Structures are given as C-alpha cells and as structure tokens.
Amino acid sequence: MNTIKIAVAGADGRMGRMLVEAVGESGDLALSGALGLAGSAGIGQDAAAFLGKPLGVVVTADLAEGLAGADVLIDFTRPEGTLKHLEYCAAHGVKLVIGTTGFDDAGKAAIAAAAEKTAIVFAPNMSVGVNVTLKLLELAAKSLATGYDIEIIEAHHRHKVDAPSGTALKMGEVIADALGRDLKECAVYGREGVTGERDPSTIGFATVRGGDIIGDHTVLFAGTGERIEISHKSSSRAGYAQGSLRAARFLADKQTGLFDMFDVLSLNG
C-alpha cells in the first residue's frame, strides 16, 4: 500500500498537534507539510518540536510550500482559514478532511462547490462515538416524535470561539430531519426574560463554556413522567484525530465528491 502524504493546517493548534502526533505514529501515513497562521509562534519551527521528536517538516504560512506533494490536507482551523486553503486545494487537486466548525451557509456552499473539483470529508465531529450517537438520536427522535420536548446541551473549554458547537448543530439537524422539521425554523438558541411557555415544536440549545472541557453533548427528550438523555463525553482529542486519519484513508480512491463521517464509517442507511 502507498503511503498517504498528509499536510496539517493549524499545525500548532490543539487539534493540529494531535494530528501531527497521530500521523507520525500511524505507520501508513506521512506528514508532508504543516500550515500555520502568518505571524504565529509556530511558524519556522518543526511541526513535531513539541513532541521532542522532530519530523523534519517545518510549519509555514506559504500554501504552496505547506501543500507541496500532499495527497490530503487535514484542516482544523477557523472558517476563514479553511476557505482559503479550500480554494488552493481545489485548484491543485489536494483532497481535504475538514474538521473546522462555525461556517455560515456561504462557507458550506463554497465547500460543496469545491467538492466538484476535489474529494472532501467535512464533518463537525470525527469521533466514532459521536457519529454512532447521531444514529441513536435519529432512532430516538422518530420514536419520541410527540409528547417529548427536545433540548440539546453542550459544554466545551474556555477557548472555543463558536456556539453552539458544530456537533450540537448537527445533532439538531439529524433530529429535525427525523421529525420532518426545518432546524432553521424550529431552533431556539438560549432563553432569557419572560419567554412564555415552551413551544413543543422547538428544539432548544444551551451552551456551557469553561475550563478544559474537551466536548460534552447531551440531548434531552423531556416527556411527562419521564425523560431520556442521550450523552456523549470526550475525555481526549485523540478520537477526533483518529477519525480524521480514517477520513484521509477513505479519500484514497476518491477523486471528487463531498462526504461526511457517516460515509467514512459506513453509517448511512
């Protein structure tokens, strides 16, 4: 089997570092490049310097340099960074695994358009556990379609910049789809003041930010006399990194197309 050459964007970030380490330990993947934000402390340093085991790949802000020879770019940055990388990758046939969250509709449309030129896996959560949880939610929502109020509660570390999390929004989409609702019309993002009684057709979101919480998601189905809670809690970012590597391997025989982790993990159907 050919070694898959991986470039990592946001190489000096929380996820970027996990990915550099995971690629280095994988056996079947090789780090070919590392991108960082111009002016960041990591620029010019070996991407694996933080491990004390340099890999000979220097973090650069130059896309041509960072993406030279790459088969796949794994990108966990910010929407504006990902969209810049996306344009370059689509033009140069580099495949993409996008874990970044917080895109608006125009950003998502740009990713879909780029997938006509290169192959992309785009998912707000790469962990196997979260994606299986999404399947459980589909079943729960269909079975609890009436008489249960649905609330999605997520908690993350103090550094997270987008809310609700991409995962929470995906959970809302999966549930809304299962119930034949449109999340844009039924989502309620936080409550304050005299809100009136709860509208049963809504899906509520609540966001907690603090400390070093890696990522907790709970969906509450609150009925009369009982409530069901479906929760996933991450205690490490390793699952996100391993899922991303699975996504990169999945892309090996794809030339174009937009995929998600259901495709990677064969969870469709």
Q: Which two tokens stand for residue 260?
A: 């998600």
Q: Which stretch binds ligand NDP (CB under 6 A): 19-27, 98-106, 138-146, 174-182?
A: 98-106
Is 3 annotated in some ligand binding site? Answer: no
Is 100 annotated in some ligand binding site? Answer: yes
Counting contacts by CB under 6 A, is residue 99 touching ligand NDP? yes
| Catalytic residue chosen out of the listed positions 156, 170, 217, 232 | 156
Least CB distance from residue 98 to ligand NDP, whole Å?
A: 8
156's contact among ligand NDP, ligand LZUJQKHR, none, with CB below 5 to 8 A by partner kind, is ligand LZUJQKHR
Which CB, 33 or 36, lies closer to ligand LZUJQKHR?
36
Report how far apart, in Å, the C-alpha atoms of 246 and of each of 49, 172, 223, 236, 238 are: 25, 25, 38, 17, 12
Which CB, 47 or 219, lies closer to ligand NDP?
47
| Catalytic residue chosen out of the listed positions 5, 85, 95, 160 | 160
81's contact among ligand LZUJQKHR, ligand NDP, none, with CB below 5 to 8 A by partner kind, is ligand NDP
Q: Which stretch binds ligand NDP (CB under 6 A): 62-70, 117-125, 135-143, 189-197?
A: 117-125
Amino acid identity of 28? D
Is 157 annotated in some ligand binding site? Answer: yes
Rounded to the nearest 10 degrees, the angle between the axes of helix 105-114 and helix 79-92 is 20
Could you list the residues that contact ligand LZUJQKHR (CB under 6 A)?
101, 124-125, 156, 160, 165-167, 215
Q: Is 108 a catalytic residue?
A: no
**What would the 3-class secondary structure string for the chain be?**
CCCEEEEEECCCCHHHHHHHHHHHHHCCEEEEEEECCCCCCCCCCECCHHHCCCCCCEEECCHHHHHCCCCEEEECCCHHHHHHHHHHHHHHCCEEEECCCCCCHHHHHHHHHHCCCCEEEECCCCCHHHHHHHHHHHHHHHHCCCCCEEEEEEEECCCCCCCCCHHHHHHHHHHHHHCCCCHHHHEEECCCCCCCCCCCCCEEEEEEECCCCCEEEEEEEECCCCEEEEEEEECCCHHHHHHHHHHHHHHHHCCCEEECHHHHCCCCC
Least CB distance from residue 136 to ligand NDP, whole Å?
A: 18
Is 124 annotated in some ligand binding site? Answer: yes
Range 238-257, binding ligand NDP (CB under 6 A):
240
Q: Is 160 a catalytic residue?
A: yes
Is 108 annotated in some ligand binding site? Answer: no
Counting contacts by CB under 6 A, is residue 16 touching ligand NDP? yes
Which CB, 242 or 256, lies closer to ligand LZUJQKHR?
242
- For residues 147 and 166, give the distance between their C-alpha atoms in angstroms, rounded to a whole number: 27
Is 224 annotated in some ligand binding site? Answer: no
107's contact among ligand LZUJQKHR, ligand NDP, none, with CB below 5 to 8 A by partner kind, is none
- For residues 64 and 56, give the distance between their C-alpha atoms in angstroms, rounded to a whole number: 17
Give me the active site residues, please.
156, 160
What are the residues binding ligand NDP (CB under 6 A)? 10, 12-16, 36-37, 40, 76-78, 80-81, 99-102, 123-126, 166, 240
